[in-house]
């Protein structure tokens, strides 16, 4: 008589790395000075610099992470800079 086959253990689950919640400021370039806060009650996300007091607010969803708010701030800064560059050339 043969031995019963044992059931294979499932592979261990991979853990997701934590995303950053503090970033460098696009205005004063101070590292780890921008902190992102998400207010799910009012659906508002805010990124603010502790050094130069610059801030950015945007609407959030249930899936929004702090990196998303910071990325939107950077994108908005680049958009405004591009508008200024086009206005200066004309």
- What are the tens digits of pLDDT across the range 32-46? 899 999 999 999 999
Q: What is the pLDDT of residues 46-68, one digit of tens each?
A: 999 999 999 999 999 999 999 99
What secondary structure does DSSP assign to the chain, as a single string? -PPPPPPPPPPPPPPPPPPPSEE--TTT--TT-EEEEEETTTTEEEEEETTT--EEEEE--TT--HHHHHHHHHHHHHHHHHHHHHHHH-
Bridge partners (DSSP) listed for residue 39: 44
The pLDDT of residue 90: 56
pTM here?
0.74
Structure confidence at residue 46 (pLDDT): 95
Cα separation, 33 vs 89, in Å, equals 34
Return the structure tokens found at 51: 């050094």
Per-residue pLDDT of 7-22, as tens digits, reads 788 888 888 777 777 8
């Amino acid at each position: 008589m043969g031995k019963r086959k044992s059931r294979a253990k499932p592979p261990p689950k991979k853990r997701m790395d934590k995303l950053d919640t503090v970033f460098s400021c696009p205005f004063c370039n101070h590292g780890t000075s921008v902190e992102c806060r998400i207010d799910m009650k009012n659906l508002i996300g805010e990124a603010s610099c502790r050094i130069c007091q610059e801030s950015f607010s945007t609407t959030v969803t249930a899936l929004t992470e702090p990196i998303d708010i910071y990325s939107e701030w950077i994108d908005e800064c680049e958009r405004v800079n591009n508008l200024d560059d086009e206005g200066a050339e004309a």
